[in-house]
Amino acid sequence: MIRKSAIFVLLALLSLAAAPAAADAEYALDFASAYVWRGITFTDGAVWQPSVTASNDSGFAINVWGNLDIDDANDMSAEFNEIDLTASYGFGSDAVSAEVGFIEYLFPNTPFAGTRELYMTVGWDVTASPSVSLYYDIDEVKDFYANVGVSFGGDVSDALAWSVDVSAGYAGDDFAAAYNGLSGGMYDGNLTFGLSGGAWSAFVSYVDALDSDALPEQPVDFLAGIGFSF
């Protein structure tokens, strides 16, 4: 059953999308060789991850994102096994930006219970664009996950840009235990190289566990994908 908060987020999205004078809508169609979240392999096979985001000039935004297994890696060919609903508010200055939000995780066609998180992200507009994110699960897990990252990038030409993102995660004891870890600690590391041009983008990522007691070794270390937005 979809929870009341999920219904609220869906209604808010429809309300924003129905008011073009006050909101912009962005649609994304992403394809990847696997679905890896915070270092955890959820789908060891090709996936389709569509999303839609409605936002306005005040900083408020609503996003709906889904993960659909393309092949039969989880015995779920052509079925959605996750839908995330996010409500966020962004604010800041030219030097520092921040975003706070709420995420509802739903897992249709699976036996897993959904959960909810609150989060905050802060980024600095300086060399390497450092950022810090903190997530706290207020429902099933009741613990935190934090991530720090840096990002580099530039233009290859007027029509092509490149980026390199490096990040590391840290998890609390209960968060680690919820995903088969033995204790909290340094969690996942991620190195991503990306290319983008106009309405398309592509990436190649290497992900790995930083502490096997916190995050057991996962089947997927390398993944790649391509996406289109309009």
59 within 8 A of 38, measured Cβ to Cβ: no
Write down the pTM of the prediction.
0.89
pLDDT single digits (tens) 80-126: 999 999 999 999 999 999 999 999 999 998 888 999 999 999 999 99
Percent of the chain that is helix, strand, coil (3-state, to 5): 10, 60, 35
Residue labelled with tokens 């995903």: 179
User: pLDDT value at position 21?
Assistant: 47
User: pLDDT value at position 12?
Assistant: 55
CATH class in words for 4-229: mainly beta
The letter for the amino acid at 154 is G
User: pLDDT value at position 23?
Assistant: 74
The letter for the amino acid at 141 is V
**Which residues of the chain fall below pLDDT 70?**
1-22, 74, 76
d(CA 49, CA 188): 22
d(CA 20, CA 24): 6
User: pLDDT value at position 4?
Assistant: 52
User: pLDDT value at position 72?
Assistant: 75
How do the domains of the chain map onto residue ranges? 4-229
